């Protein structure tokens, strides 16, 4: 079927039709609708997945993955990991190790060990969950740019560079554990 003619009809009220059990529904004259629900009107749609974190058979927490299905601010199809333990709550360092490996700021010199680039000291994974390990990387402009390019939408500059510099100067990292 080809479109033969488009005729402006002015403003009209439109409806989002939903038909139970059907993805598509054929109306009169061959017009097809699609069940959309609130998808098109939402600014952000995040889908959460989770895996249990265990110590032997005991569940000690969860590893969540936030899947960005739709967003005006974060690149769609991004995956954001968040670790939550029952005794410590949300890990503020969630997902950073994978990002630092991907960006080249951390390397894995041998199985089970991690190292900041340009340093000799090796760390076990559990030892990377600390302010001492992360602050040199987080203060690195190249790492900041890598994370920004990975997750933010290009046209949206939510924080410009001078705002970031000012915010970093005002932070008291002694308060960060």
38, part of any domain: no
Q: Is residue 123 part of a domain?
A: yes
Helix ranges (H only) for the chain are: 96-103, 131-138, 141-151, 161-170
Q: 96: buried, middle or exposed (CB in 10 Å: 19+, 13-18, 0-12)?
A: buried
For 89-117, the pLDDT digits (tens) are: 999 999 999 999 999 999 999 999 999 99
- pLDDT band at residue 73 under the 50/70/90 scheme: confident
- Residue 101: inside a domain: yes
Q: What is the pLDDT of residues 119-153, one digit of tens each?
A: 999 999 999 999 999 999 999 999 999 999 999 88
Between 161 and 92, the more confident residue is 92
In a domain, 20, yes or no: no
pLDDT at 168 over 60: yes
What pLDDT was estimated at residue 20? Answer: 65
Residue 156 has pLDDT above 50, yes or no: no
Structural domains counted in the chain: 1
pLDDT value at 15 more than 70: no
Q: Kindly state the percentage of the chain with pLDDT values over 90.
A: 54
**What is the domain range of residue 137?**
92-145
Residue 70 belongs to a domain: no
Q: Does residue 170 fall inside a structural domain?
A: no
Q: Burial of 134 by CB count in 10 Å (0-12 exposed, 13-18 middle, 19+ buried)?
A: buried
Residue 51 lies in a domain: no
What is the share, in percent, of the chain residues with pLDDT greater than 70? 71
Q: Is residue 122 part of a domain?
A: yes
- Stronger pLDDT, 25 or 71, i.e. the higher one: 71
């Amino acid at each position: 079927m080809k479109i033969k003619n488009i005729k402006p009809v002015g403003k009209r009220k439109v409806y989002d039709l939903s038909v139970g059990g059907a993805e598509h529904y054929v109306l009169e004259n061959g017009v097809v609708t699609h069940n959309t629900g609130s998808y098109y009107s939402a600014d952000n749609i995040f889908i959460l997945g989770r895996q249990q974190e265990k110590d032997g058979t005991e569940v000690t927490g969860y590893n969540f993955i936030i899947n960005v299905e739709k967003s005006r601010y974060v690149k769609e199809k991004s995956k954001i990991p968040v670790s939550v333990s029952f005794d410590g709550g949300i890990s503020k360092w969630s997902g950073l190790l994978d990002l630092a490996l991907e960006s080249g700021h951390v390397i894995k010199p041998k199985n089970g060990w991690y190292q900041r680039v340009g340093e000799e000291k090796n760390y076990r994974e559990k030892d990377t969950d600390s302010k001492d390990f992360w602050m040199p990387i987080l203060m690195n402009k190249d790492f900041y740019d890598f994370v920004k390019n990975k997750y933010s939408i290009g046209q949206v500059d939510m924080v410009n560079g001078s705002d970031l510099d000012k915010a970093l100067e005002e932070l008291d990292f002694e308060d960060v554990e």
